[in-house]
Amino acid sequence: MINDNHDQLAHPISDDPKTPLLPLRSDPPQRKLSFLSSLSSILTLKNLYILLGPLLSTIVCLFVKLDGPVTSKNMLAILAWVFAWWITEAVPMPVTSMSPLFLFPLFGISSADHVAHSYMDDVIALVLGSFILVLAVEHYNIHRRLAFNITIVFCGDPLNPPLLLLGICATTAFVSMWMHNVAAAVLMMPVATGIIQRLPTGPTQSDVENKFCRAVILGVIYSTAIGGMSTLTGTGVNLILVGMWKKYFPNEEPISFNKWFFFGFPFAFLLLIALWGILCLLYCSKGSGRALSAYLDKSHLKKELELLGPMAFAEKMVLAVFSILIVLWMTKSITDDIPGWGVLFNGRVGDGTVSVMMATLLFIIPNKKEKGEKLMDWNKCKKLPWSLILLLGAGFAIAEGVESSGLANVLSETLDFLERAPYLAIAPAVCLISSIITEFITSNNATTTLVVPLLIQIAKSMHLHPLLLMVPGAIGAQFAFLLPTATPSNVVGFSTGHIEMKDMIKIGLPLKIAGIAALTLLMPTLGAYVFETNKDV
């Protein structure tokens, strides 16, 4: 009663119906901002970055002179705008990726309908279908089961640290072959940290144990990037390359999943062996097996595997659908003598067709957990990488805009001096430049979108098959090995606290050199055979 009376005294109730029942909140009087403080709130670095795009575009339109149509200069202005926003991240990258939808019509490059077509084609369908399957794998913990099984095989008895390190790297690379690099890193990092959690931490940790912890985290980071290079779906960079090849050279045979795999997998295998060798040389001493065996053995991994329980029907079906998808990808087009099942449909079926078809099965097949519940539902697909899809669309739109505006011909004429340069000199230079740019642009996809259209024009000037430069440029964009911020996958590993920047430079620099050397040797040999670069384009 006392409390009720107190409340009534504090907030007396009126009989007037116009009187509000709840007390009105009186806002404190706001201080008037001075002119200088208002100006400083507007002139922030972020806002200056936003203005940088239109400013560079205006400078190009007013002061740059090109020997070509007006649209070529307008396209260059658009490139300055878009890449300024991409590099500075003045606005979110997916929003920047949509800017061609209004910039191209405003600058007279192409119509809105024409630009919009670039944001949905077979390559985009390939990404959508593949990521739905990846989400299913993640949802049912298939990736962890696979990781533990493979790692147990490589553990050795007694413990063999180099062999275990190879197992961790190989498992991560294999997982990254079928899903986006960031997703693979996020899924494999808990597996890696779970393995090294049994080791001592803090002052009691020996130098051998500390080095092995670093080696495991570094192995996961770099194996994620390497595995993504081997398949079309492993990273958005490969998809951008394939999409640009299709846009620039629509009459040429497209780069299929199978064709890329025949080149990408051997290259990734060589780079993975190089990574393992570097890690063993710098972080695994001869006596590490004895020091680590007291904390890490097969029993730990087997216990982790047992916690997952037996494989359920849903896991088996997702694994079966994924396996069928891989088989269909690889057998759609095999060789000229063995055309594959794609010939039955007269070339109308693409890799995206198969990807979406198999993803659709996940919404039809029951999971046998709850009545009427399927393997997947749309609520589980909220994590679809729409930012990557928009970035891919922007890359395809820009590639077509550079060609249709006449800017491609202008760039080609300015690069005539490269005709005299030998391929074995320019290929590593292209790869090195691309790999340096990607260290400072957080998105490897953005680097590829920037570099590949220019490489096409350089190849034309040198009278080379375009893929001889496009492939080194695109793969070089994935050599983001030196800086923690170079790619989100590096951030995932760096955030564990087990490694420092000097570790990344110590491993990343020789790995980058090994990658450039391997690519320089493989591209004119194996690449010439797989991509048929001896033919005229």
| More reliable by pLDDT, 274 or 65 | 274
Query: Which residue has 């991994």 as its token pair?
Result: 301
Tell me, what's the pLDDT at 105? 95
Beta-bridge mates of residue 374? 366
The two structure tokens encoding residue 153: 């095989």
Of residues 523 and 336, more confidence is placed in: 523
Whether the predicted pLDDT of 88 surpasses 80: yes
More confident residue, 313 or 300: 313
Question: Which position has the higher pLDDT, 169 or 197?
Answer: 169
> H/E/C letters for each residue in 393-418?
HHHHHHHHHHHHCCHHHHHHHHCHHH
- Residue 260's pLDDT is 92
**pLDDT number for residue 229:** 93
Between 418 and 50, name the one with better pLDDT. Answer: 50
Q: Quick one: 163 exposed, middle or buried, by C-beta within 10 A (0-12, 13-18, 19+)?
A: middle
Q: What is the pLDDT of residues 386-410, one digit of tens each?
A: 877 887 788 778 878 887 888 877 8
Q: What pLDDT does 19 receive? A: 57
The two structure tokens encoding residue 312: 């359920």
pLDDT at 101 > cutoff 90? yes
Q: Say what the pLDDT of residue 524 is.
A: 86
Mean pLDDT of the chain: 82
Task: Give the percent of the chain with pLDDT over 90.
Answer: 26
Question: For residues 415 and 457, is the Cβ–Cβ distance under 8 A?
Answer: yes
pLDDT in tens, 119-159: 887 878 877 888 888 788 878 888 778 767 777 887 777 77
Q: Which two tokens stand for residue 350?
A: 């693409």
Which residue is it, tokens 């051997």? 266
Arithmetic mean of pLDDT, 268-287: 91
Count Cα atoms within 13 angstroms, Cβ side, for 8.
7
- The answer, yes or no, to whether residue 202 has pLDDT greater than 90, is no
Asked if 214 contacts 479 with a C-beta cutoff of 8 angstroms, the reply is no
pLDDT value of position 20: 56
Residue 38: per-residue pLDDT: 66
Provide φ and ψ at 374, rounded to 5°. Answer: -100, 175
Q: What's the CA gap between 330 and 350, in Å, rounded? A: 12
Predicted confidence at residue 30, as pLDDT, reads 55
Tell me the pLDDT tens digit for each residue of 475-510: 999 998 987 767 777 877 877 778 888 898 899 999
For 12, how many CA atoms within 13 A lie in the half-sphere containing its CB? 4
What was the pLDDT predicted at 8?
46
Q: Is 60 exceeded by the pLDDT of residue 429?
A: yes
Q: Each residue of 56-78: pLDDT tens digit?
A: 999 999 998 888 889 999 999 99
DSSP, collapsed to helix, strand or coil, labels residue 367 as coil
Predicted confidence (pLDDT) per residue in 225-269, tens digit: 999 999 887 888 898 898 889 888 888 888 888 889 999 999 999
Percent of the chain whose pLDDT exceeds 70: 87
pLDDT tens profile 6-32: 444 444 545 555 555 555 555 555 555
